[in-house]
Amino acid sequence: MTGGWGKVMGSLFGTDGVRGVANRELSPELAFSIGRAGAYILTRETGTRAIALGRDTRISGDMLEAAVTAGVLSTGVDVWRLGVLPTPAVAYLTRELGAGAGVVISASHNPVEDNGIKFFGANGYKLPDRLEEMIEQLVLKQEAAGIPRPTGAAVGKVREVPDAAERYLAHARRAGPPALGGLKIVVDCANGAACTVAPLILNALGARVVVMNREPDGTNINVACGSTNPASLQERVLAEGADLGLAFDGDADRVIAVDERGNVCNGDRIMVICGKYLKEHNRLPLNTVVVTVMSNLGLHVALREAGIRVLQTRVGDRYVLETMLASGARLGGEQSGHIIFLDHNTTGDGLITALQLLSVMVDTGKSLSQLAAQMQEFPQVLENVRVADKEKVMASPVLAGAIAACEARLNGQGRILVRPSGTEPLIRVMVEGRNEEELLEVVNQLVEAVVQADRG
């Protein structure tokens, strides 16, 4: 099975906003233009002349925040500055504060040299393609004649929102248990946006909290830590004798857990745990969970045996959300730990996901390892291959031939997914089945084909 490209648009917006190397592809000049065009389009849609703006801890955030802010203010629209906060906090506060739109400056789990600009509508949802295309056309084609340039008292103003974190935490707390009963939790904040809010709320709920990677210096976000690098968290959970560990990514829209035995509990297992619990308590509408093609076969088996329907979509949280809204499902997500609980937020929310998982632990009295055992994981091998031209590789007959040969080799006892990253110059090769030794051989064969296709 081959993966799709995702959204087909111009050269600016990808599957998760605008991303690039800060001060190169994502220059302050471009950020100014995006802020200007976004403010014009989005406040024209809603009539509300204010935009909520938050960011993560990476060093280029100051520069890009200033540029986006200047662009917004130049149209006569105000900026409500939220400071360093998780991406889902900005989505929530956009609605809570009544802003005309929200903007997040973050590259999530990407390396520090990258940064990004992502918009939310006034309803807290990511923008539909129609609005992103309108913003893109204004920026790329310089069709900005209709954007106002007010002067004097009509220029936009910046307003600080000093209680932004407290507002978000009060909301998030409603998604968790009344108390955590002294559970010992190791929290890896990835030197990112979770640094303040995650320890605060867990301590307030009565947990014994051990915090890792909570000293952001602008350059250490996601470096050998966080949800994409859980090895140090696994070691720390065992060393501390903790009940579990939680690892967020740079903008805290995703989380993965580590059980008391040091084993990783990824997004698939978290969805199985929470999905089954919600169904048992008649709180899983339509008995449906939405996942992507990257979810392990073990998830499908576990949920099917529990009487839960699984809807599958292509990779990307925007596609998960689209399917959830179309189907009426309220729980969906990705293996990476980017999970959407629509009863609590309009986007993936690492902190709310953690609180939902903790609620199951507290209510059932079971350890995380006991809960995670509800899903048997099939062997899955994933390799990321850096390439010069993703489109050329995906269209290559060399790669197509290799995929066909490998699918014939697996003979229905596994599956292959080859797809381009939506945010990085990578081709992701995933093979799943029962025989791990054979999977490694198949992955190596496909990686060679990707490299050959990129060079050819």
Distance between CA atoms of 152 and 76, rounded to whole angstroms? Answer: 10
Q: How open is the CA angle 233-238-242, to the nearest 5 degrees? A: 90
Q: Give the tokens for residue 200.
A: 């605060």
Distance between CA atoms of 46 and 122, rounded to whole angstroms? Answer: 7
- Whether 369 is a known active-site residue: answer no
Cβ atoms of 58 and 221 closer than 8 Å: yes
Q: Which of 6, 76, 68, 88 is nearest to 348 (CA)?
A: 88
For residue 238, give the H/E element and its range.
helix 231-240
Q: Which one of the listed residues 33, 106, 108, 336 is annotated catalytic?
A: 108
Specify which residues 257 forms β-bridges with. 246, 265
Question: For the chain, what is the largest distance between any 2 Cα atoms, rounded to a whole number of angstroms?
Answer: 71
DSSP string, 73-121: HTTT-EEEEEEE--HHHHHHHHHHHT-SEEEEE--TTS-TTEEEEEEEE
Q: Give the tokens for residue 51.
A: 């935009």
Q: Which of 248, 244, 306 is nearest to 273 (CA)?
A: 306
Helix, strand, or coil (residue 254)? coil
Q: Give the tokens for residue 449.
A: 């084909």
Phi, psi of 208 (to 5 degrees): -95, 110
For residue 394, give the H/E element and its range.
helix 390-394
- Using CA atoms in the order 360, 361, 364, 368, what is the torsion angle rounded to 10 degrees? 120
Rg of the chain over all Cα atoms, to the nearest angstrom: 22
Phi, psi of 103 (to 5 degrees): -135, 135
DSSP string, 265-295: E-HHHHHHHHHHHHHHTT-SGGGEEEEETTS
- Count of other CB atoms within 10 angstroms of residue 426: 17
Residues designated as active site: 108
